[in-house]
Chains A and B, each alone.
Chain A
Amino acid sequence: QITLKETGPTLVKPTQTVTLTCTFSGFSLTTDRVGVMWIRQPPGKALEWLALIYWDDDKRYSPSLRGRLTISKDTLKNQVVLTLTNTDPADTGTYFCARLYQGLDTWGQGTLVTVSS
Chain B
Amino acid sequence: QSVLTQPPSVSAASGQKVTISCSGSNSNIGENHVSWYQQFPGTAPKLVIYDDEKRPSAIPHRFSGSKSDTSATLDITGLQTGDEADYYCGAWDSSLSAVVFGGGTKLTVL
Contacts and interface: CB of A to CB of B under 8 A. Distances in A.
Chain A interface SS verdict (over half): strand
B10 to A, nearest CB: 16
14 contacts: A46-B88, A47-B88, A49-B99, A49-B100, A63-B97, A102-B54, A103-B35, A103-B47, A103-B49, A103-B50, A103-B51, A103-B56, A105-B50, A109-B44
Contacts of B45: 47, 96, 98, 104, 107
A66 to B, nearest CB: 10
Contacts of A48: 101
A37 interface: yes
A113 interface: no
A39 B98 CA distance: 12
Interface residues of A, number: 21
B12 to A, nearest CB: 22
Contacts of A110: 44
B24 interface: no
A42 interface: no
Nearest to B86: A46
Contacts of B103: 46
A14 interface: no
A60 B96 CA distance: 11
B96 A105 contact: no
Interface string B79-108: 000000000101000001111111110000
A8 interface: no
- Among A47, A60, A108, the one with the most B-chain Cβ atoms within 10 Å of its Cβ is A47
A1 to B, nearest CB: 12
Given A46-B2, A49-B101, A60-B99, 5 more contacts: A46-B88, A49-B100, A98-B45, A105-B56, A107-B45
Contact of A46 (B46, B51, B101): B101
A104 B90 CA distance: 10
A81 interface: no
Given A46-B2, A47-B88, A63-B96, A105 B47 contact: yes
A52 interface: yes
